Amino acid sequence: MKTIGIYPNPKRDAELLCTRRVIEILIPYGASFLAPKKLAPLLGDMLPREAFVEEKALFSQSECLVTLGGDGTILSVAARAAEADLPILGINLGHVGFMAGLEKKDLQRIHSLMTGDFTLSSRMLLSCRLGDGEEMLAMNEFVIAPDKGFHIVELSLYTGEKKLCDFRADGLIFNTPTGSTGYSFSAGGAVMDAEFDAVGVKAISSYLLIGAHHMIFSPETVFTVKNCRSEGSVVTVCADGREEKALTAGDELTISRSKKRVKLITFEPQSNHEVFFRKF
The DSSP call for residue 178 is: G
Q: Contacts from 191-196 at CB under 8 Å and sequence distance 24+?
A: 191/272, 191/273, 191/276, 192/216, 192/272, 193/271, 193/272, 193/273, 194/121, 194/123, 194/271, 194/272, 195/121, 195/271, 195/272
Q: In the chain, which ranges are E strands?
A: 3-8, 32-36, 52-53, 64-69, 88-92, 102-103, 119-130, 136-138, 141-146, 153-159, 162-169, 171-175, 199-204, 214-217, 223-229, 235-239, 243-247, 253-266
Local structure of 198: helix, strand or coil: coil
User: Is 71 a catalytic site residue?
Assistant: yes
In sign, the C-alpha dihedral spanning 65, 68, 71, 77 is negative
Catalytic annotation, pick one of 13, 45, 71, 117: 71
Q: What is the bridge-based pairing of β-strands 3-8 and 32-36?
A: parallel
- The residues that are catalytic are 71
